[in-house]
Amino acid sequence: MNGAYRAPYLDSAVYIEAIKGQHSQYPERSRTAERILRQAEAGGLTIVASTFLWAEVIRDRGEPPISEEQEGIVDRFLLHGYISWVELGLGAARDARQLARRLGVKPADAVHLGAAVRGKADVFFTWDGDVLAKTGGELDGMPVVEPYIVEPPQPELDLGTN
């Protein structure tokens, strides 16, 4: 069983799956991404994100860029208050370069991983098998795993036995 989280970092592919929605090749991924974002919207989570995300969420691998209409939706979405931004400044860029060297991941993946650590995310969500393998499912104590949903705790059922 995967643990609860309050401050997840979502790799760019998670946002892209949410944007694709019913048009996704992976409907379960889209549903998971959407539910995580809805939990944040409802006040249950703070999403940690790198400002690099603004540039990266334009296309999925091997696909054309998202439309201008979709881009407007993404821009409005990224302005929500439940996103805690980690600036990609010189220090963060240097950290990313060191992570890329240490883990052997692509520089863009290292930017996201480094931002998750800097932003104190409690879990890093990705469907990127290379990132999952090269981190061994953990980075500096932070789980690096495929996205999952944790249902909010439900009140105990009162059966009138007390």
**Closest alpha carbon to 113 in 38, 93, 44:** 93
Domain annotation for the chain: domains and CATH numbers = 8-145 (3.40.50.1010)
Q: Which residues contact 76 (CB under 8 A, 6 or more apart)?
A: none
pLDDT at 161: 64
Give the pLDDT of the chain (162 residues) as one tens digit per residue. 478 999 999 998 898 888 777 777 888 998 999 999 999 999 989 999 999 998 887 766 667 777 788 778 778 778 889 999 999 999 999 999 999 999 999 999 999 999 999 999 999 999 999 999 999 999 999 999 999 998 765 567 677 665
pLDDT at 137: 97
Cβ atoms within 10 Å, residue 127: 18
pLDDT at 149: 93
Residue 143, beta-bridge partner list: 138
d(CA 124, CA 8): 6
pLDDT at 162: 57
pLDDT at 153: 58
d(CA 21, CA 6): 24
pLDDT at 132: 97
pLDDT at 146: 97
Long-range contacts of 146-154 (CB under 8 A, 24+ apart): 147/8, 147/10, 147/14, 147/29, 147/32, 147/33, 147/36, 148/2, 148/32, 149/32, 149/35, 149/36, 149/39, 150/2, 150/3, 150/4, 150/5, 152/39, 152/44
**Closest alpha carbon to 12 in 81, 92, 74:** 74
pLDDT at 23: 76
pLDDT at 54: 85
**Closest alpha carbon to 85 in 116, 123, 45:** 116
